[in-house]
Amino acid sequence: MDSPVVTIDDGQLKGTQKTNLDGENFHAFLGIPFGKPPVGRMRFKAPKPAEPWTGIKDASKEGNICVQRNSITQALEGTEDCLNLHVYTKTLPFEEAKLKPVMVWIYGGAFRQGSNSPQMYGPEYLLTEDIVLVVPNYRVGFLGFLHLTDTSLDVPGNAGLKDQQLALKWVQKNIKNFNGDPNNVTIFGESAGSMSAHELLVSASSKGLFHKAILQSGAVLNPWNLCKDSSLKFAKSVQADTETEAQALDRLQRLCCKVLHRHQEKFLLTDAGSGAIGPIIEKPNETAIITSHPAELIASGQYNKVPILMGYCDREGLLVEFYKRLMIKAGIEPPAKYSQIDVDNFIHPDLQLAEDDPKRLIIKKKLTELYLQPPNVDDKFLLPSDYNFIAGIIGAAKLHAKTSSEPVYLYRMSLDAGCNMFKKIGKIEEKGVAHADDLGYLFSSEQAAPLLYRGVIERRAIRRFVKLWTNFARTGNPTPKGNDLNIEWKTCRYKDSSLLGYWRGAYFAY
């Protein structure tokens, strides 16, 4: 069947056909521009909407991805002209008049890598259900998250989040042309993508752009949410005589984007580079995403109140082992913290406690009692799991449940099976569900396919995952009345365990 032509505000598009898990055809429109190329003097700045085009644009092939190093091949790939998105839909308006729920996926990658590539995020599972899936690119690394304090330079930070927000505005304008309902949009993401979605959730400037949110293994209470103010330090690492932010911006905008990335890689191996890339609290400006601490916004109820589904994998801390193996493969000596537990590394940065602060000593003593003595002393991944992910996710869920009348659903993924993607990629034999293992049950992945096993259990899990997620996108409830899963998912009423109760106290007590 020939792919039809779709007309949107900016011009005409001719897509292609794909086949879902059930062997049914669906339409795919790939590489649709939603923002102007953020190059030259637009580098590091908030994006602008794409320019219209004439003629019929070929939307059968993927667009560019943002500059990054492929963690598998180690090749440096991509370009900064990357603001494009993919749309997948079963039907178009000439085939059916019914509007479908829209799901907008925000990929993870520690704000340093990731893309909308269908080789990683294939739509074949989700498109067994009657939804429209949108997968935008956004800028990663310093291209997306450089920030300068001089407001006259117009680089306040969070350009990558603003790319995501611009994609959501594109959805509001254009998604009806793909049978999507602009009044029923769900944002969902994993890891840094989940963190991004959560930032958009607490941003006043995102009001009305989406109506539900699914947050997988990332929340704004996690300690890696907000980055350090290191952008000028990065510029000085590129050229030592850089003294002002204006000099820094001029020099960094002149560099080839791949040369810039190589400087970024070197900087991230230094102490100054730790936590240097990611969202930041901006000074008030017309494009700002967040100007107050997200935790304060949630606690005070000042955010977009929509139904939320959020959760984590039961052994998130296995991510440490995954990164350790990646570094060894790349010829980099892993830091000692990847092999040894030092409680000094697990004190939340928001507490801002000096080395000799008595409160810091109290926290270190308590962490030692909880994690470095029986019964938990033998589980070296428990503290990284709780500190980096689980405590903040559960804490955020409880805060949302307290401050919003909209439902909050909390989950823990504990299925350790053949599609646990990142354990398979990292060849990790440890028991438990690692960070990002859930992706193998929502997306088909050509990259990971040779490593995955899809038997009866895995196929059943894929169906259930997809059904729960798309039910939520459709109705705001993962198990609405009459659902064919024959289960009821109750809203968040999570009781603190002794460990997670500690984290709640530690975060809010000081």
- Burial grade of 496 (CB within 10 A; 0-12, 13-18, 19 or more): middle
Contacts of 97 (CB under 8 A, 6+ apart): none
Structure-block tokens of residue 251: 């020099």
Supply the pLDDT for residue 381: 85
Per-residue pLDDT tens digits for 398-429: 999 999 999 999 999 999 998 898 888 888 88
Supply the pLDDT for residue 348: 77
How is the chain split into domains, by residue range?
91-225+286-509
Mean pLDDT score, 344-364? 80
Contact 44, 155 (CB under 8 A): yes
Identify the active-site residue in 124, 190, 282, 316. 316
Supply the pLDDT for residue 255: 94
When pLDDT is cut at 50, 70 and 90, the band that residue 509 belongs to is very low
Identify the active-site residue in 115, 191, 206, 231. 191
When pLDDT is cut at 50, 70 and 90, the band that residue 383 belongs to is confident
Fold observed for domain 91-225+286-509 = Rossmann fold (3.40.50)
User: CA angle, 154 as apex, 254 and 246 as ends, to 5°?
Assistant: 50
Q: Is the pLDDT of residue 30 over 80?
A: yes
b/e burial code for range 226-241 (CB count within 10 A of at least 16 → b): bbeebbbbbbbbbeee
Q: What is the CA radius of gyration of the chain?
A: 22
Per-residue pLDDT tens digits for 57-110: 999 999 999 999 987 778 899 999 999 999 999 999 999 889 999 999 999 999
Task: Tell me how far apart the alpha carbons of residues 11 and 120 are, in angstroms, rounded to a whole number.
Answer: 28
Model confidence, pTM: 0.93
Percentage of the chain modeled with pLDDT above 70: 92
Per-residue pLDDT tens digits for 213-257: 999 999 999 988 888 776 888 888 888 777 788 988 999 999 999
Contacts of 152 (CB under 8 A, 6+ apart): none
117 is catalytic: no
316 is catalytic: yes
Would you give the distance in Å from CA 129 to the centre of its chain? 23
Q: For residue 96, what are the CA distances in angstroms to 9, 60, 92, 178, 268?
A: 21, 22, 6, 10, 50
